[in-house]
Structure 1
Amino acid sequence: MANKPNSKQRTIAKEATLTGVGLHTGEKVTMKFLPAPENHGYAFKRVDLEGEPIIEADANFVENTQRGTNLEKKGVKIQTPEHVLAALVGLEIDNVLIELNSPELPIMDGSSKFFVEALENAGVVEQEKEREEYIVKDVISYKDEASGSEITIIPSDDYQITTMVDFGTKVLGTQNATLLKLSDFKEEISNARTFSFLHELEMLLEHGLIKGGDLNNAIVYVDKEISDETMKKLEKAFGKEKLSVKPNGILDNLTLHQPNEAARHKLLDVIGDLALTGIRIRGKVIANKPGHFVNTQFAKKLAKIIKLEKRNSVPKYDLSLPPLMDIHQIMDMLPHRPPFLLIDRVLELSDNHVVGMKNVTMNEPFFVGHFPGAPVMPGVLQVEAMAQTGGILVLSTVPDPENYLTFFMKIDKVKFKQKVLPGDTLIFHCSLITPIRRGICHMQAYAYANDKLVCEAEMMAQIAKKQ
C-alpha cells in the first residue's frame, strides 16, 4: 500500500445527467454522476426505491455475471455497472456517487464513450487527501478451470492491462489489446463497444432478454449460417427494414472502430470489473480469455489480499524522536490516572487519526493477578488503551478537553491476534470511520507490537461535559 507522490484524490466539479435504456431490461433509465467526498470511492444510489439505498462498487456484492456484472446488497440490485466504472477509472476519478432510477445502467452505444464525455463536461477537481494505491509486489493469479480463462497481475511502474481473446470462430479469432497507461484510455479504449455472436443473440431474443438492444449498442458477429427466418426476427427485434451481413462477418449498420475492437472492449470490461477492488492498482494485468466471471473472481481475490496486507502492514515510527504529547500532556487532556492510564505517548494527531504508544512492563498492576506465572496483558485492557488513544482524537476537537469525559457507546469486530507480554512496545493507530458529529466518534483501531498486528476493533465513543 502506498501513496503516489503528488497523487491527490479527485472527484467531479458538478453533477452530470445521462438518459438511456438498459440493455437487458429495455427500461428507460436516468443516471446522475454526483461529486463525492474524499475516501468515498464509487457507489450507486437507487432513487426509485424507498429509503434511496446505496450500494458500493464492491467485489463482495457481485451476485452473478450472466450477460454482465451484477451487484446485490440487501436485496438492492445494480446491473451492468462495468462500463461506467471503467470510465471513472480511465479518467482517474476516485470519488463519485451514481444516482439511478432503475436497477440497470444505460447501455448507451455499448462502450464507455458517453460516460467519459459526461464526466469530462462535469469537470474534474482535485481533493485534499492523497490517493491510496495498491502496489503489486508479487505475481497474483486466478484461473477458471472450466473455461480456461486466466488473469494474472505482476509488478509494474504503471497500471497496465493486456487482454488476449480467442473465440475459436472464423469470424472472430484471436485478438489482443494493450493499454500502457490510463491516460490513453479515452483515446484507445473508451469507444470499444460490446459485442455478441449470432448464436447468443438468437437465444437471448427467444427468451426476451435483450429488450434494450439495437444495432447501435452491440456489434453482432455472424458465426453461423443465417436463415431468412432468423434474419426477419432480427429485423423485427431491431426495428430495421433490412439487415445483411458485411464481408467482415458482422451485421451491417455498424462499422468497427478498430479491427480488434472486441479485444479492446474486453480490456474495458477488465478495468470496470477490477474497479470493484475499491482501490487504485499499480501493476500489469494480463488477462487471457477474460469474462465477467473470471474478472470479478479475480477482483474478489485481489480485494481479500489487499485487505489482509493493509491490516498486517505495521506502520513504522521513530520512537527516539520527541513525542507529540508526553505523559504530562496526556494527563492534561484525559481524565484517566495510573494505574488506569494505559498510554504513555502520543506520536501523531490529525483531524481524522491518532497514534499512541505504551511500554508494557513487568511492573503493570494487572500482571499481579492476570496469570502471574505467565504474564499476558488482558485483551480488554488492550481495547481500553485503544479507546484512550481514540479519546485523545475526539477531545482534541474541543477547546477545553479537561472539562470532558469520554464514554464507550459500542465495541464491534474485536479480534485478538497475538499475545502482549512484558517488554512489548504497543503502538495504537485509530482513524475515523465517519466524521465526528455531536461529540460522537466512530473509529477503526489497531494495536501493533513486535511488527505484528495484535488487536483490532471498531469503536464508538461519545464525549460529555463533566457534571
Structure 2
Amino acid sequence: MAEKVLKQQTIQNEVSLDGVGLHTGKQVKLTFKPAPENTGYVFKRVDLEGAPIIEADVSYVTDTKRGTNLEKNGVKIQTSEHVLAACVGLEIDNIIIELNASEPPIMDGSSKYFVEALEEAGIKEQEADKEEYVINEVICYRDEDSGSEIVVMPADTYKVTTMVDFGTKVLGTQNASIEHVSEFKDNIANSRTFSFLHEIEALLEHGLIKGGDLNNAIVYVDKEIGEETLKKLRVAFNRDEISVKPNGILDNLTLHYPNEAARHKLLDVLGDLALIGTRIRGKVIATKPGHYVNTEFAKKLAKFIKEEKRNKVPKIDLSAKPIMDVNAIMETLPHRSPFLLVDKIYELTDSTVVGVKNVTMNEPFFVGHFPGKPVMPGVLQVEAMAQTGGILALKSVPDPENYLTYFMKIDNVRFKQQVVPGDTLIFKLELLAPIRRGICQMQAYAYVNGKLATEAVLMAQIVKSK
C-alpha cells in the first residue's frame, strides 16, 4: 500500500497571548498568524521599524546560555524554544509569530499556553505536501567538555528520548520519551522549565530573570540554603515566606510528573531542532541535552540535509512525455533560439520545477568557447537554470504570456562539473520563500551524469510586459 502523503498545515485564525519575558521582565504580546505554504516558522518584530522578520533558522543562533536566542541584521529573538516546540508538537508547518518585544512571554515556563492558543485558532490543512527528511544513517554530535550527546537514527516516525543527569542528588537521573510528536500535547507540553538554586542566585546578582515570579520555573535546591539567601529570594519574588519541600524543590510549585525535568528537556530538544527547518523522520536520543548541544547538533544535521539535497538528482523518466515541450515553453517564455536553453519541463508545482536541456555539438556557443575541447559556459548554465525558474515564477500569474521575469540577483554560484556535448542537464529549482510583490527567490541546482554540476540562489522580478 502506498504511503499517505501528508499535507502542510497552518492555523485558521490569528490568536494572541500576553505575558512577561522571563529575562527582560517586559510585558509582551505574542500573536500567532496563518502563513502561506512553505513559509516555515517566522518571527516578526512589530515593535521595530519595518516590522523585520527572523526565520527560525539555526544559522541565526547567537547565544544559548539561558535559552536559544536568534539574531538577524541586529534584530533579536530571545528564548524561542518553548513557542517553537508547541508548533512542532501540533504538527504545524507554517506560521508567523508576531512579537512586540524581543522575547516571547514565559507564561508558566512550559509550552502549555501556546498549545492551547494554537488549538483555539484551529489547524488548517494546506495544498502543498509536507517536506520530510528521512534519516537513513546514524548522525551524532558530542560535546566533550560536558559529555552531552545527541544521536539520530532511522525510525518510522519522529521519536525523541532525553536522558538527564546533573550530578545532583535532588534531581538524580531522569528519562523521558515520545514515540510520535502527537504525544506532545498530553505528555510534554505542560512540563515547566527548571533551574538550580545556585543558578537563580547568580542570575539575580546579574539583574536577569526579571520576569521570574516562581510561578514559571521549578527551582531545585542543590545546596544548603541560609537565612540570607531566603531573604534575598523573598524580596526578589515578592513573597512573605519561602521554604524547601521534602522533595528538594522550593515550595512555589507541585511537580506535574516525577520526571518533569526530563520532559522539559525533551520539549527544549523539539523546539531547538525546529531550527533545522525540515520535518524529521528518525529517532533522536539526547543525553544530557542543553541549548548549546541541541543547536550544534541542529547545525550539523541541517548541513547534512543540505548537502544530501544538493546531490540528490531528481528522478525523472526522460523517455516519458513532458508536461511542457519546447513549444509550450515558448508560449510562456519570450526566449528563442539560439538563446532558449531549456527543452522540456517534467515537473511543475507551486514551489518546484524540474526541467531538462540536451546539450548537443550544434550549440552555437561551442564555435568559440574552447573549440578544441568544447565546454558549456558556466554563465549559460546559470541562464538555463534561470529560464527554468522563469517557468516556476510565471506559474504564479494567470496569464504568463503577458509577463516577463528579470534577474535581480545571483548568489552563491558554484560550478562542480564540466558540461560537454552529449550531456543532459537536469535542472531543479525550489522557492525559498513565497512570491511577494512579484519577487521570486529560488534555490537552483543543475545535475549532469548523476552529479551536481552547478548551483546558485537566484532572485527575479515578475513584470507585466503589456
Please give the TM-score of this superposition, normalised by the length of structure 1. 0.94
Deviations 1:167-226 (A, max 9, x none): 111111111111111111111111111111111111112222121112211111111111
Change (3 A) 1:178 1:405: closer
Q: Which has the larger displacement, 407-416 or 316-325? A: 407-416
Residue in 2 that maps onto 1:264: 263
8 Å CA contact 1:395–1:463 kept in 2: the answer is no
Report the alpha carbon displacement of residue 56 of structure 1 after superposing the two structures with TM: 1.1
Deviations 1:342-390 (A, max 9, x none): 2222223344443221211223232232222222111111122223323
3-state secondary structure, aligned to 2:268: helix
8 Å CA contact 1:25–1:212 kept in 2: the answer is yes
> Within the alignment, does 1:107 sit opposite 2:106 as a pair?
yes
Residue in 1 that maps onto 2:358: 359
3-state secondary structure, aligned to 2:130: strand
3-state secondary structure, aligned to 2:174: strand
3-state secondary structure, aligned to 1:6: coil
Q: Which has the larger displacement, 77-86 or 445-454? A: 445-454
Change (3 A) 1:413 1:233: same
Change (3 A) 1:138 1:35: same
Deviations 1:386-408 (A, max 9, x none): 2332344455646473x766544
Identity %: 71
AA matched with 2:422: G
> Within the alignment, does 1:185 sit opposite 2:158 as a pair?
no
Deviations 1:89-125 (A, max 9, x none): 0111111111111111111111111111111111111
Aligned ranges for residues 430-449 of structure 1 at < 5 Å? 430-434=429-433, 441-449=440-448
8 Å CA contact 2:403–2:462 kept in 1: the answer is no
Residue in 1 that maps onto 2:115: 116
Report the alpha carbon displacement of residue 143 of structure 1 after superposing the two structures with TM: 0.8
Change (3 A) 1:265 1:442: closer
3-state secondary structure, aligned to 1:275: helix
3-state secondary structure, aligned to 1:26: coil
Residue in 1 that maps onto 2:460: 460
Question: CA separation in 1, counterparts of 2:304 and 2:400?
Answer: 43
Residue in 2 that maps onto 1:304: 303
8 Å CA contact 2:439–2:459 kept in 1: the answer is no
8 Å CA contact 1:4–1:132 kept in 2: the answer is no
Q: State the number of aligned residues.
A: 463
8 Å CA contact 2:10–2:95 kept in 1: the answer is yes
Aligned ranges for residues 418-437 of structure 1 at < 5 Å? 418-434=417-433
**Which residues of structure 2 form unaligned runs of 5+?**
none
Deviations 1:63-107 (A, max 9, x none): 111111111111111111111111110111111111111111111
Change (3 A) 1:429 1:188: same
8 Å CA contact 2:70–2:76 kept in 1: the answer is yes
Question: CA separation in 2, counterparts of 1:270 and 1:253?
Answer: 26
Deviations 1:18-51 (A, max 9, x none): 1111111111111111111111111111111111
AA matched with 2:234: E
8 Å CA contact 1:439–1:464 kept in 2: the answer is no
8 Å CA contact 2:38–2:433 kept in 1: the answer is no
Change (3 A) 1:109 1:382: same
Change (3 A) 1:433 1:242: closer
AA matched with 2:194: F
Question: CA separation in 1, counterparts of 2:233 and 2:287?
Answer: 31
8 Å CA contact 1:4–1:131 kept in 2: the answer is no
Aligned ranges for residues 15-30 of structure 1 at < 5 Å? 15-30=14-29
Q: Which has the larger displacement, 143-152 or 404-413? A: 404-413
Residue in 1 that maps onto 2:312: 313
Question: CA separation in 2, counterparts of 1:86 and 1:437?
Answer: 28
8 Å CA contact 2:84–2:271 kept in 1: the answer is yes
Report the alpha carbon displacement of residue 411 of structure 1 after superposing the two structures with TM: 3.0
Question: CA separation in 2, counterparts of 1:408 and 1:125?
Answer: 35
Aligned ranges for residues 47-196 of structure 1 at < 5 Å? 47-196=46-195
Q: Which has the larger displacement, 57-66 or 370-379? A: 370-379
Report the alpha carbon displacement of residue 442 of structure 1 after superposing the two structures with TM: 4.2
3-state secondary structure, aligned to 1:60: helix
Q: Which has the larger displacement, 346-355 or 118-127? A: 346-355
3-state secondary structure, aligned to 1:9: strand
Change (3 A) 1:98 1:375: same
8 Å CA contact 2:39–2:434 kept in 1: the answer is no
Residue in 2 that maps onto 1:282: 281
Residue in 2 that maps onto 1:226: 225
Residue in 2 that maps onto 1:323: 322
8 Å CA contact 2:85–2:271 kept in 1: the answer is yes
Question: CA separation in 2, counterparts of 1:326 and 1:181?
Answer: 44
Report the alpha carbon displacement of residue 433 of structure 1 after superposing the two structures with TM: 4.2
3-state secondary structure, aligned to 2:232: helix
* Pairwise CA RMSD: 2.1
Please give the TM-score of this superposition, normalised by the length of structure 2. 0.94
Q: Which has the larger displacement, 425-434 or 195-204? A: 425-434
Report the alpha carbon displacement of residue 440 of structure 1 after superposing the two structures with TM: 5.9
Question: CA separation in 2, counterparts of 1:410 and 1:255?
Answer: 56
8 Å CA contact 1:11–1:95 kept in 2: the answer is yes
Report the alpha carbon displacement of residue 13 of structure 1 after superposing the two structures with TM: 1.2
AA matched with 2:363: E
